[in-house]
Structure 1
Amino acid sequence: MTQPPVSVVIVSRGRPDALRVCLTGCMQLLYDPFEIVVVADPVGVAAAQALSFAKQIKIIGFDDANISAARNVGINAAAGEIVAFVDDDAVPEPTWLTHLTQAMQQHDVVVAGGYVRGRNGISYQWKGRTLDALGDAVDMPVTGLEPVVVQPTPTRCAKTEGTNMAVRRDVLVEVGGFDPAYHYFLDETDLNMRLAKAGYACAIVPRAQVHHGFAANKLRRADRVPTDLFDIGASWAVFQRKFIPQDKRRDHWRTIRMSERRRAVRLMVSGHIEPRAVTGLISRLDQGYGQGIARRMGEGHVTQTPNAPFKRVAPLSGSMSYMAAWRSNAAKARAEALRRVKNGEVVTLIILSPDALYHQARFHPDGYWEQRGGLFGKSSRSQSLLKFWRFNDRFSAEKKRLSAIRGGPD
C-alpha cells in the first residue's frame, strides 16, 4: 500500500528547549514521505533554525498567542495529503505516522488519533475518549492494539487530542480548519464536534503513541497547576454559543465554574497555591467567559492550495536498535547510543539497576530513547509489584513489549 504524504504541524510558543527535543524526535519518524512544519514565536524560530537539520523543515514565524490561528498557518503551509499534529512538549514514537495513516487508509476515515503517554513515559494521560453534546470527554473502552472506528451520533463523537491527531487536508479545508475564537483550550474539541456534525468517522489507533511532557506555559506551571483561567472561561463561552442551546447554558456554566473552583480549592488544600489565588483564578475565569460571549466565531480559514511545496524529510540512513546496560555502565552505554544516533539509527537504551524501582522512559535530548528502572521493577503499571528476572530475560521482555509500538530492529 502506497503511503500518503504527511505534513507534521508543530506549534510552539515560549518553549524553545522543548521544541528542540520534539523536532529531534520527529526527524526519527520511520515514515516516507513526510514533512515538518513549525509555526513558532521568535525564540522558537531561532531554536529551530539553529538545529543541524533546519534546512529540511519549514519554519514559519507567528507571534500571536492563539493556538488555533497558529495551526491554521501550519495547515496553509502543509502540502501533505494528511496533516498530523503534535505539541512542542511531546515526542512521537518512530512508528506514529505509519499507524495513523494505515488506520485511515484501511478504515476509510478522515481523522485519527492515538494514545498519549505521560511524563514518566509509561502511564497514559489519555487513551480513547468520546465527547457528549456538552463537550465533556469520557473514556471509551478499547481492548488490544487494533484501531477502533467511532461513528458519530447526535449525542456522541470521538475525541482526539491536539498533541496526537491526523486529519485529511481536504477535509480541514472543507470545515474551515481550527476556529481562532479558541485561543487556547477546546480547539480540537470544537474541530471534533464539527467533523462529527459533517458525518465523518474517526479511528482511535492504540499503536499511534506520543509521549507528552506537559511543559510549563503562560497558563500553567510545570507541575500542571493553572496560573490563569481566562482562556478556559473564554473558550467555554464560545463553545456554548456554537453547540449548547441557550436555555441550557446557564446551568452548564454553573457546573463548569463549580468544577474549576473545586479544583482550585484542592490545589490550595494540598499546598500548591495560596488561598488568595483561588479567588484570583475564578475571577479570571469569569472575565474570560465574559469576553468569550462577545468573540467573533467561525473565522478559521485554510487555503485549498498549500502556499509552499512539499519539503520531504530525508529518510534515516540507519536501522533500529535496542541496547541494555546495568546502571553502573550507564555512561558508557549512553556514549554508544549517541554514536549510533549519529550513524542514523533509532536507538532504545534500557538501563537496569539491581532493585525493584518502577521504570520510567523518555526521549533523551541527545536523540535516543532511554528507559530506566529496576531489574525486578514494573515497566507497565498492570504488572505485578515484584517479579524476579535474569538480566538478559528482562531485556528480551522489554524489547518485545516496546517493539509492539516502536517496531523491531531490522
Structure 2
Amino acid sequence: MSTYQYYEFRAVDRPLTSAQQKELRELSTRADITATRLVNVYNYGNFRGDPDRLMERYFDAFVYLASWGSRELQLRLPRKLFDPALVQPYLLEDVLSLRTTREHVILKLGVDVEDDGEWTEGEGWLDSLLPLREALIGGDLRALYIGWLAGRSGDEEDADEEPPVPPGLGEASKPLRALADFLFVPRSLVAAAAKANPAPASSAVPKEALARWLSSLPTAEKDALLLRVIQGPEPLLGAELLHRYREAHPPEQGSRAAGTRRTLGELHASARAHEAEQERRQAQRAARTRVRQLEALAKREPEVWREVRSLLATQKSADHERGLQLLTDLRELARHRGSLADFQQELSRLREEFARRRVLLRHMERAGLV
C-alpha cells in the first residue's frame, strides 16, 4: 500500500550556494532543489536527509506532512533577534520544542493524529505558515500559544494551567488560522483562549516614531549602518533595527501576555460554550434566511404551483425532483403562515390530476407529501 510524505525546506535569509545545492543533491536525486527551496514527495521509501540537521545548516523553515497523520513545522530564527527564553512557558514534550545553535534558535512544532484514511496535500502549507517566522522575530508569540494548544486540545479535564495568553490571539490572521488548521487545533479553542487577553496585537512601529529614534543615534553609528546598507545585501538589517527600537521602547503592560490563567478544564468548557453560541447564532441566521426565502416564494405562489404541474407532467426524473422540491417549499410556506389545510387541498387536486402516474405518486409519498 502506498503512502504519502511531503518535505519542503525554505531558505529565507540567505540563498543556497551552488556548493550547498550540490551537497543536498547527494541526499536525493529526485528532489526539486533551487537556491531557496528543497521539495520532495515520497509515495514509497523515505527521505535520506535529517530535517533537524538540514535546518541547522541550510534552511530557515521546514514543513512535513505524512498520510498517517504526522505533521511538523520548523522555523529557524536569528538568535540575536529572538530571545529563546520567550519560548519556555509554551514548551511541551513531543509537540513544541526548542533547540539553539551558535547563531540560531530553532522551533519545532509537531503533531501525530489518528490516520483516517485520507491525507492533505503538502503543497502550499509552507507559504501559508512562513509569515509566522517574521511575526516571531517581531515579538509576536501567538504562534507559540497555538502550538501549546495543539498538545492539550484533548485534555478536557486536566487541572494544569495554561501559559500566558499573548495579545491579539482572537484576531483572525491567515497565518494563525493556517497554523491552527495545520496542527488540528479547533478554532473554538483558540477563540475561547483569546478571551483571557482582549488586548490587540502589537501594531507596526509608526514611521514618525522610528524616524525620531534613528535621528537620536550617534552619527558614527548611523554611518556604520549606511555602510552596511551599501555593502549589503543584509535581509535582516531592517528586522535588527526594529528589534533594537522595540528593546528601547518596551510595550505597555496592557499589551503584554495576560497574567490571568485558566485550567485546561476551564479552557475547554469555555470552548464548548463558544461552539454552542456559534451554533445558536448560525441557526438564527439560517432561520432568518429561510424566512426571507419563504416570503419571496409567497409573492409568486400561483406561478410556483403552475411550475410544479409543468415539471411533473414531463417524463424527466430531474424535472420530477425539482417539482417535488418546490412542493416541499410550498408546504413549508403553508406551515409558516398557518394555511396548511389550503395546501393539502391543492395537493389533493394535484394528486388527482396525476392519478395514473403511480411512480410519481410513490415519489410523493417518499418525499413525505402525502
**Structure with higher strand content:** 1
Q: TM-score range by the shorter chain?
A: under 0.3
> Structure with the greater relative contact order (CA < 8 A, sep ≥ 6): 1 or 2?
1
State the TM-score, normalized to the length of structure 1: 0.21
**Structure with higher helix content:** 2
